[in-house]
């Protein structure tokens, strides 16, 4: 199923499950340009290898929202797993315990990543993708789970943007369901006696 969002002066967002190798090659540089800086800004590894990116793009359990400018160039990308088993680091059992009714009808989705090309971040690309994503989430009446690094949460404020944008058109509750904290201990040698 493909849904398209097209508005004058905005990115064209196509939603699909099947992505050809050509599209993978086309969107890889956009993904890398957006995510490469996280290699030094987040404790967890957020940057997929080229092979992992291709696997995720080929996985039909994961919906892809492909944003292009009016010339057809890739400008943004969002992945949305409609089956939690498609996300190796996510516990379907954890989410099923919290949201049993949604789990019973397969209505717990997970945003893998969402990005706008760094050169397009001041444009409406990100908002256009959020609008397309929110339309899917509202239509399917799902629990949408995702994780955000501290850098993205505090600097880019992804969660805040998603919630405020969604509240314009729908009712929703937001819960912080878990927190993973990374520590580093520097050992300087034995204690002086």
CATH number of the structural domain spanning residue 151: 3.40.630.30
What gap in Å lies between CA 19 and CA 78, rounded to an integer? 13
In a domain, 152, yes or no: yes
In a domain, 183, yes or no: no
> 160: domain range?
3-166
In a domain, 111, yes or no: yes
In a domain, 176, yes or no: no
In a domain, 9, yes or no: yes
In a domain, 39, yes or no: yes
What gap in Å lies between CA 163 and CA 160, rounded to an integer? 5
pTM assigned to the model: 0.85
Instruction: Give how many domains the chain has, as a whole number.
Output: 1
In a domain, 114, yes or no: yes
In a domain, 59, yes or no: yes
Q: What is the per-residue pLDDT across 80-108, written as a single tens digit (0 to 9) for each?
A: 999 999 999 899 999 999 999 999 999 99
Report residues of the chain scoring pLDDT below 70: 1-9, 120-122, 151-152, 156
Q: What is the per-residue pLDDT across 32-45, written as a single tens digit (0 to 9) for each?
A: 998 888 788 777 77
- Residue 15: CB partners within 8 Å, gap ≥ 6? 1, 2, 3, 4, 63, 64, 65, 66, 132, 136
């Amino acid at each position: 199923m493909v849904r398209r969002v097209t508005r004058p002066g905005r990115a064209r967002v196509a939603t699909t499950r099947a992505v050809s190798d050509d599209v993978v090659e086309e969107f890889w540089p956009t993904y890398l340009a957006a995510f490469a800086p996280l290699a030094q800004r987040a404790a967890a590894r957020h940057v997929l290898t080229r092979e992992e990116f291709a696997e995720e793009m080929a996985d039909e359990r994961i919906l892809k929202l492909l944003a292009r400018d009016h010339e057809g160039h890739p400008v943004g990308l969002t992945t949305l797993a409609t089956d939690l088993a498609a996300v190796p680091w996510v516990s379907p059992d954890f989410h099923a315990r919290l949201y049993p009714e949604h789990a019973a009808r397969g209505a717990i989705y997970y945003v893998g990543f969402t990005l706008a090309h760094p050169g397009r971040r001041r444009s409406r690309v990100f908002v256009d993708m959020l609008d397309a994503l929110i339309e899917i989430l509202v239509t399917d009446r799902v629990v949408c789970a995702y994780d955000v690094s501290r850098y993205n949460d505090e600097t880019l404020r992804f969660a805040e943007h998603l919630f405020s944008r969604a509240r314009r058109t729908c009712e929703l509750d937001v819960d912080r369901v878990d927190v993973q904290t990374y520590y580093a201990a520097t050992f300087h040698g034995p204690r002086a006696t």
